[in-house]
Amino acid sequence: MDSQIRKIHQLLVDKKITCTQLVQEKLEALKPNTHNTVNALLDELALTLAAKVDTKIANGKAIGILEGIPFGIKDVYMVQGTYTTASSDLLKKYKSAYTATAIQKLLDAGAIPLVKENCDSFGHGSSSENTIFGAVKNAINPNLVGGGSSGGSAVNVAKDYTVFSIGGDTGGSIRQPAGYNNVYGLKPTYGRVSRYGLMAYASSTDCVGPIAKSIEDIRIVLNVISGQDGKDQTSYSSDIIAEDSLLHTESIKTVGYFKNFIESEAIDVKIKSDFLTTIEKIKAKGITVKALDFFESNTLVSTYYTLAMAETASNLSRLDGTNYGNRIEAEDLKETYAITRSENFSEETKRRIVGGNQVLSQGFSDEIYLKGLNLRDQISENFEHDFKEVDIIISPVTPNTPPKIGDSLKDPLAMYLSDAYTVGFSLGQLPTLTIPQGTDTGLQITAAKTNDELVLKFANFLKETI
């Protein structure tokens, strides 16, 4: 199977390149920052770790598969001693006091962190324009958005600035930018990877996941970062996914798709046509394809943003400049809190905090928030029913192609609706992978909870099929 990680590993083992040379090349490629993907280079740390890998190889010691492999980190993950800004004014001078579990596992495996990557501030956005570091530019067409909120991570992988990157997905924030930049992006089953050390946006759907250029690289990284963590009670133990297992797809007999996604007036004509062509290619392989009923896009988006805004209002209430953050002093403590938050939070973040506080407020919570929770339960029940009928669900990643930089900021509602095909799987807490095939912004492959392996299997099948 194709794998940049394996190719680089072999070059290091055969001493055809040194880890220091590799890291220096990647750092030099990142420094111009022409696509606004870089919040901070970790050059000193990266070169120090690279030298250790080179010494180990020179001494004839074996190295692990990820040892010496350069990677990027979305700037919402703690890495001890580095700036973790969340692309916000509030945290632009904040240094992490500890390291996120997923990142620590990669460091323990010998991977080399190169860069903290640009993203929508606190993950609030679908275009990576809501950032103090400038809008991330699409890897294919720099006049278009890079996607969000993990835009910098997806673009860095697409441009080969990093071998893989660790993004964060709440409502599509790995899958959508992966689709916009023609790379692979996985949102694992909720809880498969510890969230400890990831800045919380919406805790009930936040997921840690990899972005890479091949299914095999996704598998390798997923195996390393997965596992139960005492610091995250939602995490669980999971089996290693073996490389050979992805070759066996005989168990996949039936594939489903949501007909209302494809029949929607909002979908781009070419994306619809390409998706239907993909369906026919799957049928030609002897697999049964079923059209499924699902909630309307407006219901999915409304449910997701009701719950996500409520959770982000709660999670960001701690950011008032007292314990951390860019504090702005005023006449009294109450005014200090107000000015610190109003001046340092972006317009989009303030919009989500205000919306979240509204749906949680007395007189509204029963009518809005509790209704959102009830709809989320109905969505999960719908998925349980669907996966009794089909093995896999596929869908377009987005209803439309990437907008031009600036357009999303003018129309927040249109930005929210760009998540119409991703948020449902987030609410269901299901494993979902974007693959760079099938439509101009890729395809999503989804399986039942904890069945991440089946998602990767079908992706491998489709690589040869479409």
* Catalytic residue annotation: 74, 149, 173
Per the CB < 8 A criterion, the answer to whether 169 and 148 are in contact is no
Buried b / exposed e along 153-170 (16+ C-beta atoms within 10 A): bbbbbbbebbbbbbbbbb
- Do you find a cis peptide bond into 149, omega within 30 degrees of 0? yes
Please state the three-class secondary structure of the chain as a single string. Answer: CCCHHHHHHHHHHCCCCCHHHHHHHHHHHHCCCCCCCEEEECHHHHHHHHHHHHHHHHCCCCCCCCCCCEEEEECCECCCCCECCCCCCCCCCCECCCCCHHHHHHHHCCCEEEEEECCCHHHCCCCCCCCCCCCCECCCCCCEECCCCCHHHHHHHHCCCCCEEEEEECCCCCHHHHHHCCCEEEECCCCCECCCCECCCCCCCCEEEEEECCHHHHHHHHHHHECCECCECCCCCCCCCCCHHHHCCCCCCEEEEEHHHHHCCCCCHHHHHHHHHHHHHHHHCCCEEEEECCCCHHHHHHHHHHHHHHHHHHHHHHCCCCCCCCCCCCCCHHHHHHHHHHHHCCHHHHHHHHHHHHHHCCCCHHHHHHHHHHHHHHHHHHHHHHHHHCCEEEEECCCCCCCECCHHHHCHHHHHHCCCCCHHHHHCCCCEEEECCCCCCCEEEECCCCCHHHHHHHHHHHHHHC
Compute CA 8 distance to the chain's CA centroid, rounded to the nearest angstrom: 24
